[in-house]
Structure 1
Amino acid sequence: MDLLSLLDINNTLVNIPIGGGYAMSWVEGFGTIFGLLCIWFASQEKTINYVFGLLNVTLFAVIFFQIQLYGLLLLQLFFFCANIYGWYAWTKPNSSGETLEVRWLSQSKLLAISGGSIAAIALLTIYIDPFFFSLATIAVDGMNLFGAELAEPVLAPDAFPFWDSTMTVLSIVAQILMTRKYVENWMLWIVINIISIGIYATQGVFAMSVQYSILMFIAANGAREWARTAKENINNKQVEKAIA
């Protein structure tokens, strides 16, 4: 089997007997596995998570291209860049020779991010159709510059504007918080996964609901692990300060 065949969404890897049955392609299967590995290694604070994250967003970009969700395809570019930045931020030592530590957001940052997220969700809920249409148009025009010869996208109403807006905004915020090693990123991923489970179950895509259920438990474990690490980091700093 050649690479192009593996990347074809019509090339079935396995038929999952859930609901009415779900044919998972090779590209979705590998993308899902890489996504699970990314989240698991991130929950363990392992930098290798970004390798799997880059593979995950790349394969899902291929999927979104084939099913003509060009707005989501363009968002994968953001997540690709965020993974590269996170890899850099997690490994680059500061002026004291120390790398980034797991920590909690300060109260002021938490309030600012919460307020900004609520405002962004409200605005995106109202303008989600033209927003993704604009992203899709930009993506198509960009690819057409390189000879893709794609048809211009058609504006289609979103079935779940509020929930899709919430997942989009929180996913961006959670990804940024993860690159800075803030514990709160896991709380956001838990919320995102719960919403995803509900939406996919409502649409009858039960295999995706199962996938996000697994991701939810990994995120919950990540929250527990990072909260413990953050507490240890605080205690270590207090000891060092007392000694000094």
Structure 2
Amino acid sequence: MSLLAFFDINNTLVNIPIGSGYAMSWIEAVGTLFGLLCIWYASKEKTINYPFGLINVTLFAIIFFQIQLYGLLLLQLFFFVANVYGWYAWTRQDEYGDTLEVRWMPVQLLTITSVLSIIAIALLTLYIDPFFTALTHLALSVLSLFGGHIALPELSPDAYPFWDAAITVFSIVAQILMTRKYVENWILWVVINLISVGVYAAQGVYALSIEYVILLFIAANGTKEWIQTAKNNRTPAVTA
């Protein structure tokens, strides 16, 4: 198989007998694998999650380009930048040689983040179609700078505006919180994955629904482990 064939979403790796059948391409399978590895190692507080995450969002950006979901493609660019920053933040040492620790968000920051998230979800629910249309236009403008002249695809109205808005906003917030090692990021990922399982099942995309069930268990495990780590980090060391 050539390198170009690997990136083609029509190059099927396996046909999954779910619903009416689902043809999973090589690029989707590899991208999904790296995504699962990213989330698993993040739950274990391993910095190697970020290289896996960078590969995951790059491959899915290529997928979204081919299926003309340019708004989602642009979101992958955000996640790419967030992964680069997270890699830096997790490995950076302060003047005492210490690195970032797992901790809970301060109450004030939690309150501000919650209020802004609620406002963002409400606004995005109301304006999700023009928002993603604008993102699509922006993505096409960026692609045109690199010589890609692509016609604007026909965009259908969002089937689940509130749930899509919640997934989008929570995913951005959770990714940012993860880069700062806040425990709350995992609680948000649990919520995101629960919503995603329901939305994809309702749309008949059962393979993705099953994938998010796996992600849900990883996020739940990450929540448990990071809560314990945060507790240990707050416990003063006992000296002999």
TM-score over 0.5 (shorter chain): yes
Provide Cα deviations, 1:8-48, integer angstroms capped at 9, x if missing partner.
00010111111221110001000100000000000000000
1-structure distance, mates of 2:57, 2:95: 32
- 3-state DSSP of counterpart to 2:170: helix
Q: How does 1:32-71 map to 2 (within 5 A)?
A: 32-71=32-71
Note if contact 1:60-1:76 (Cα within 8 Å) is conserved in structure 2.
Answer: yes
Cα offset, 1:146, TM superposition = 1.9
| Map of 1:72 onto structure 2 | 72
2-structure distance, mates of 1:91, 1:147: 37
Tell me whether 1:140 sits opposite 2:140 in the alignment: yes
- 3-state DSSP of counterpart to 2:14: strand
Cα offset, 1:145, TM superposition = 2.3
Structure 2 unmatched ranges of 5 or more: none
| Map of 1:27 onto structure 2 | 27
| Map of 2:209 onto structure 1 | 209
Provide Cα deviations, 1:155-208, integer angstroms capped at 9, x if missing partner.
431111100000000000000000000000000000000011001101111111
1-structure distance, mates of 2:140, 2:119: 28
Name the amino acid aligned to 1:205: V
2-structure distance, mates of 1:111, 1:20: 45
Cα offset, 1:148, TM superposition = 1.2
- 3-state DSSP of counterpart to 1:136: helix
- 3-state DSSP of counterpart to 1:103: coil
| Map of 2:199 onto structure 1 | 199
| Map of 2:90 onto structure 1 | 90
- 3-state DSSP of counterpart to 1:98: coil
Provide Cα deviations, 1:86-124, integer angstroms capped at 9, x if missing partner.
000000001211000000011111111111100000000
* TM-score normalised to structure 2 length: 0.97
Note if contact 1:9-1:27 (Cα within 8 Å) is conserved in structure 2.
Answer: yes
Name the amino acid aligned to 1:225: E
Q: How many residues align?
A: 239
- 3-state DSSP of counterpart to 1:214: helix
Cα offset, 1:142, TM superposition = 1.5
- 3-state DSSP of counterpart to 2:235: helix
| Map of 2:5 onto structure 1 | 5
Tell me whether 1:117 sits opposite 2:117 in the alignment: yes
Indicate the percent of aligned positions where both proteins have the same amino acid.
67
- 3-state DSSP of counterpart to 1:15: strand
State the superposition RMSD in angstroms. Answer: 1.1
2-structure distance, mates of 1:138, 1:104: 36
* TM-score normalised to structure 1 length: 0.96
| Map of 1:188 onto structure 2 | 188
